[in-house]
Structure 1
Amino acid sequence: MHLQQEEWLPRQAAHVQRVRRYADPYLERRSAGRKHPVEDFLFTYYTQKPGQLLRWHPGAGVVLYGPEAAARTGWKYYRAADDAELAAAGLPAESPAVTVDVDAFLRDRREALRFAGIILAGTAARPAQFGCFGLHEWAMVYRQDKFELRHEYLQLRLGPERTDEVVEENRIRCSHFDAFRFYTPDAVPLNGLAPSRENQRSMEQPGCLHANMDLYKWAYKLAPVLPSELVMDCFELSWRIRAMDMQASPYDLAEWGYPAIRIETPDGKAEYVEYQRAFAAEAQELRQRLLHELTPLLRATASQESTEGRQ
């Protein structure tokens, strides 16, 4: 695909505006030394920084033309378009044009690409489980008075004793290691599963809120070969999941504008599952879009390795 400057600059501007809706308030809070328990998360837990997210990428196989494109030759995993690419667009040699350097990306990031493909395909193929009710957040504060406080500036909605009772009264079956690893020591043996980094690729399932939030992680880790519009679709789903996840948590977030989903009650559990199912359906569509983008890149990786092996 070839995009002239008047075609791709509006896409870039729309992306920047889309990101700033989330990034600017976070940067203002950070500058003022303030925290937000819900809306800071995607910028503090994940490694993608606002400045990186603001950069718009067209994805692999797209050539950008025009004077504004030339600045991207200094960006990582970009290169100047070659004569054949310029000729295909009917432009003279040495016209300002850039494209993502897919070969360089695959050489450096092939293992990350493969792992993302394994996680995404494996998760998509498994049946969704909807019986966790967000109890992972409760297990992270179970008997917390014995340990270092988590989110020390927040109050527990039901108080410490009743919070512990909710954990003990329910079956906990968290399948996501990056949630499970934050359990308090006393909560670890209460989990019905034993997720680990080693079994992550076989454990993750599409009903899990955290697995669906992590679609954003897999997307940004593969920048710039993925289009930024897809990355932001994953970001915004993750943003909404985080909000619901914290509404179902043991914290009192009413003053932050997030009313509780009372998962300690039957009605609250039903509300949680309704949200969970809707998010799972959205996430499966995004997962398939990611896999669609990754498939030719994985094939190119195999071809690149075959060529390297013959040399």
Structure 2
Amino acid sequence: MMSAVEEHEQRVDALLRDHLRRRKEGIKHPVEDFLFTYYSYRPAQLRKWRPDTSTVAPERRQTVGWIRDLLVATARRPPHLGCFGLHEWAMVYRLGQQEIRHTAWPLRLPRPEIAAMIEAKGVRCSHFDAFRFFTPPARPLNLLQPTRETQHENEQPGCLHANMDLYKWSYKLAPTVGSETVVDCFELARDIRTLDMRASPYDLAGLGYAPVRVETTEGRAEYAAAQRAFAERSAPLRRRLIDIVDRAFTA
């Protein structure tokens, strides 16, 4: 019978195998690399097993409290499902091929059609860390102008990036939050990232990612249904993080 440590290492090894192989071979991946470039947790850290702890160090209480309050504020709001993933479109709005983030991959629509989609539908992004990557001409087209200071007021549980960020908050809450929860959040973030990029304007069919065509009525319905499912899947993980922190604060 495997120990908890061995089970954890085996689980993480299976999740990281393809990434570590690509990294060794110098192959970039426009979907999964995000989990190791935007997020700062290293594979070796993810593989290290540790249980939840029951305390928060005094010097960490302010940071942990900030994260806890953000999670609580987000959990209290109803999910909004009308953004249709257009934040990724706003990140390439009015850019040339050599200016976009994933230059090795083509856009699946002509640039004028991408621009027309943004201008016709507008953008409804509530997440500051997505909004800050919008191109300058796309920012005024967003319904909100989120900032770091208004993050607690804006984040909501239908947002793909807010739910992906449960991974970030879980490892930032370490060692109070143990490795099992961190890996649960990593798996959630990986799955959400797949939808995020399938709904983007990039053509990633060569990697096996069928597009979610949010430029169509059918595609928007498909996206909203998947978004709702991720909101439901994220809710107990968000609640778990809050409960772990609350127990540690009162221990």
Which category describes the TM-score, using the shorter chain as reference length?
over 0.9
Partner in structure 2 of residue 283 of structure 1: 234
Does the CA-based 8 Å contact 2:89-2:118 persist in structure 1?
yes
Alpha-carbon distance in structure 2 between the residues aligned to 1:188 and 1:11? 47
- Structure 1: 5+ residue stretches without partners: 1-5, 62-101, 301-311
Per chain length, whose mean CA-contact separation is higher, i.e. which structure has more relative contact order (CA < 8 Å, sep 6+)? 2
Deviates more, 1:40-49 or 1:258-267: 40-49
Alignment match of 1:244 (pick from 168, 180, 195): 195
Amino acid at match of 2:17: D
Deviations 1:77-131 (A, max 9, x none): xxxxxxxxxxxxxxxxxxxxxxxxx3xx512321221111011000000121110
Partner of 1:183: 134
Deviation of residue 174 (structure 1)?
0.2
One-letter code aligned to 1:183: F
Whichever residue aligns with residue 27 of structure 1, its letter is L
Indicate the structure (1 or 2) with the bigger Cα radius of gyration: 1
Distance 1:218 1:255 in 2: 32
Q: Does 2:213 align with 1:220?
A: no
The aligned residue for residue 83 of structure 1 is: none
- In structure 2, the gaps of 5 or more residues are none
Kept after mapping to 1: 8 A contact 2:97/2:103: no
1:133 matched to 2:126? The reply is no
Runs of 4+ in 1 over 6 A off after TM superposition: none
Identity %: 52
Q: Give 1:292's match in structure 2, choosing from 236, 243, 246.
A: 243
Match of 2:9 in 1: 16
Q: SS of 1:144's equivalent?
A: coil
Of 215, 227, 232 in structure 2, the residue corresponding to residue 264 of structure 1 is 215
Q: Determine if contact 1:216/1:234 at 8 Å carries over to the other structure.
A: yes
The answer as to whether partners of 1:16 and 1:54 remain within 8 angstroms in 2 is yes
Deviation at 1:214, TM superposition (A): 0.4
Determine the structure 2 residue equivalent to 1:169.
120
| Counterpart residue identity of residue 55, structure 1 | K
Task: Provide the C-alpha distance between the structure 1 equivalents of 2:85 and 2:216, rounded to a whole number of angstroms.
Answer: 13
Deviations 1:14-70 (A, max 9, x none): 111111122232122122211001111111110100011110011114xxxxxxxxx
**Residue 49 of structure 1, aligned match among 18, 39, 42:** 42
Shift of 1:298: 2.5
Among 56, 74, 88, the alignment partner of 1:123 is 74
CA distance in 1, matches of 2:189, 2:202: 19
| Amino acid in the other structure paired with 1:159 | P
Q: Does 1:59 align with 2:10?
A: no
The secondary structure found in structure 1 opposite 2:99 is coil
Distance in 1 (CA, whole Å) between partners of 2:152 and 2:98 is: 30
Residue 85 of structure 1 is matched in structure 2 by: none
Q: 1:108 aligns with which of 49, 54, 59?
A: 59
Given candidates 84, 94, 101, the residue that maps to 1:143 is 94
* Mean CA deviation greater in 143-152 or 41-50: 143-152
Q: CA RMSD in A?
A: 1.5
SS in 2 for 1:22: helix
What is the TM-score with the length of structure 2 in the denominator? 0.96
Cα pair 1:156 1:163 within 8 Å, conserved:
no
Contact preservation (8 Å) 1:176, 1:211: yes
Query: 2:122 and 2:250 mapped to 1: Cα distance?
Result: 43
CA-CA distance at 1:144 after TM superposition: 0.7
- Aligned residue pairs: how many? 251
1:196 corresponding residue in structure 2: 147
Contact 1:174 / 1:192 at 8 angstroms: preserved in 2? yes
Whole-angstrom distance in 1 between the partners of 2:237 and 2:178: 13
Amino acid at match of 2:41: Q
Residue 254 to residue 147, structure 1, CA distance change in 2 (3 Å): closer
